Amino acid sequence: MTSLEPSIFSRIVAREIPATIVAETDNVIAFRDIAPQAPLHVVVTTKSQEYANVVELAAGDPALLAELVAVASQVAEELAPEGKTPGQFRLIFNTGPESGQTVFHVHAHVLAGTFKEGSLV
Ligand code: 5GP
């Protein structure tokens, strides 16, 4: 499901909307979530909005998915919250509206610094 309208993330890529960008490659960009849910909460997305979700991306361009995961890992290494182990993080791809996905431009949430033992949510 791709839209002809630029997504909010495409507008961040184009620097039409300000964001705190923390990492960038030719194909992937990472920026602080505007409504953080954890001490570290970064959105990692593809610069292209060709793929709406991780399932489409994995099927269509697995190398790009691997690049996105590598950027997520780099961010978690470099920006670990105070007192937390660098490189330990949650990687969440909401997939579909009933999962909480609101932006249909594939992206991962990198979360670190809070973890409730035994809970996935
Ligand atoms: P989703 O709910 O689709 O998995 O995640 C979308 C995320 O994008 C949300 O966590 C939301 O806070 C974040 N977001 C939405 N609009 C903006 C924005 O304009 N700037 C930034 N930095 N994050 C945004």
Indicate the pLDDT class of residue 3, thresholds 50, 70 and 90: low
Residue boundaries of the structural domains of the chain: 8-112
Q: For the domain bounded by 8-112, which CATH number is listed? A: 3.30.428.10
Global pTM reads 0.95
Average pLDDT, the chain: 95
Residue 43 CA to ligand 1 centre (angstroms): 7
* Tens digit of each residue's pLDDT (9 = 90 or more) over 34-75: 999 999 999 999 999 999 999 999 999 999 999 999 999 999
Tell me, using a 6 A CB cutoff, whether residue 96 lines ligand 1: no
Share of the chain above pLDDT 90, in %: 90
The predicted model gives 88-92 an average pLDDT of 97
Q: What is the ipTM of this complex?
A: 0.99
Q: What is the 3-state secondary structure (H, E, C) of 6-42?
A: CCHHHHHHCCCCCCCEEEECCCEEEEECCCCCCCEEE
Task: Tell me how far apart the alpha carbons of residues 44 and 22 are, in angstroms, rounded to a whole number.
Answer: 10
